[in-house]
Amino acid sequence: MSTLNTGRLSLPAMCVGAGKWALHVARGWAAERVQWGRPVGEHEAVATKLAFIAATTYGMETMLELCCLLADDDRNDIRIEAALVKLYASEMAWRIADELIQIRGGRGYETAESLAARGERPVAVEQLLRDLRINRIFEGSTEIMHLLIAREAVDAHLSVAGDLIDPAAELGRKVRAGARAGAFYARWLPTLTVGRGQNPAGYAEYGPLAGHLRHVERACRRLARSTFYGMSRWQGRLERKQAFLGRVVDIGAELFAMAAVCVRAHAERQSRPEGVELADLFCRQAEVRVTALFRALWENTDHVDGRAATRILAGRYAFLEDGIVTPPADRPWVATWQPGPSTAEDVRRRVPPAS
C-alpha cells in the first residue's frame, strides 16, 4: 500500500502544473477580453474567479512541497499527508479548470483545433477539463480518500471504545472497556477546551498571518470535538455516516492547507513578500469554506437523501425517465431494473426484452 504514496504525490504535482497554466491563461484572457468598456478581469464576477485560481494554486503547491519534504525523510509515514494532498489537489484543480472555462466563455469550450482553424490562439482549455477529471478517480477516488483518512481520524476513539460500542459484547467486557475509555478521555478531553489560538497574541511572530493560524488552531480543536460527538452519537454506526466523515476530512484538508501556506509565506517573506498576500487571500477563502463545512456537519439532508436513494433504486421515480431514447446496447441493462409496482408495467412496455 505504501507504493500508492508515490502516485498520490505525483498526481497533485500534475494538478499544480494545471493550476499554474490555468492562471496564466485566465490572467491573459481576462486582461485582453473587453466587455462593457472594461477588461473582463475588472468585473467582480470574473475577478473572484481569478482570485480563487491564484490563491488555490498557491495552496496546492504549498501542500505538495510540504508533503514532499516529509516524504524525503524516510523516517516519516506520509500515508495521511499524501492522501490529503491527493484528495485536495484533485478536487481543487477540477474547480480551477471549470472556472477557467467559464472565464473563457465559448472559447473555453471550443477545442484548440477549432480555435486555430478560425485564426485564434489555440488554447486547449477544454482538454484540461477532460484530462483533470480522472484525477478524482484513480490513485484512490475522492470517496475512498475520505474514508481512508476518516478511519485514521476515528481509529483512536474506536480502539479505546472497543467493546463499549460493540452490541455483541458481554456486560463484563463493556465495563472494562468503559474504564479504559474513561481514563483515556480524562486526559484527552481537556486538551479540546483551550489552546494557543485563544490568546490574541498567539502566533504573533507570523505578523499579518497570525490571525489565520489562531483560527486554524481553534478550528482543529473544534473539529476534534465534532468528531468525538459524532462517534458518541452514532458509535459503531459512524462508519456508515460517510457524508459526515467526508466533511470532517474536507475540513481537515482545508486547515492543513491554511497552516502550510502561512508557514511558507512567513519563511519566504524576505525573498517573496507577495507570498504573504497570497497566503492571506487563500486563508480568507478557505475560512469561508470551513465555516460552511462545519455547519453542514449537522445541518444537512443526508438522512432524507439516503431514503430517497432507496426509493430511486426501487424504481419509484422511473416516470422521470419517460421520453428517453434508449440505445439498443443499453437495453439489456435497463431491462434488469426492478421498478416498484406502480411503474413495472410501464417500464415493460417501454423497454422490450433483450434479444
Task: Tell me the pLDDT tens digit for each residue of 86-142.
Answer: 999 999 999 999 999 999 999 999 999 999 999 999 999 999 999 999 999 988 899
Q: Is 39 helix (H, G, I), strand (E, B) or coil?
A: strand
> Is the confidence at residue 10, as pLDDT, over 60?
yes
In the prediction, which pLDDT does 196 show? 87
Active-site entry in 99, 139, 217, 287: 139
Cell of 138: 484513480
Q: Cβ contacts of residue 298 below 8 Å, gap of 6+?
A: none
Smallest Cα–Cα separation from 282: which of 95, 51, 41? 51
The pTM is what?
A: 0.87
Count of CA atoms in the C-beta half-sphere (13 A) of 109: 3
Q: Which helix (H) or strand (E) holds 153?
A: helix 142-161
First-to-last C-alpha distance (Å) of the chain:
44
CATH number of the 4-140 domain: 1.20.140.10
pLDDT band at 189; cut points 50, 70, 90: confident
pLDDT at 259: 97
Residue 351: what pLDDT? 47
List phi, psi (to 5°) of 203.
60, 30
- What's the CA gap between 318 and 78, in Å, rounded? 46
Which comes out higher in pLDDT, residue 253 or 73? 253
Q: Where in the chain is the domain with CATH 1.20.140.10?
A: 4-140
Average the pLDDT over each of 192-196, 229-233, 261-265, 303-307 and give the range with the smallest value.
192-196
Nearest CA to 297 among 230, 252, 350, 237? 230
- The answer to whether 65 is a known catalytic residue is no
pLDDT, mean of residues 36-54: 96
pLDDT of residue 45: 96
Span 349-354, average pLDDT: 48
Quote the CA–CA distance of 74 and 165 in Å, as a whole number. Answer: 37
Q: Are 246 and 154 in contact (CB under 8 A)?
A: no
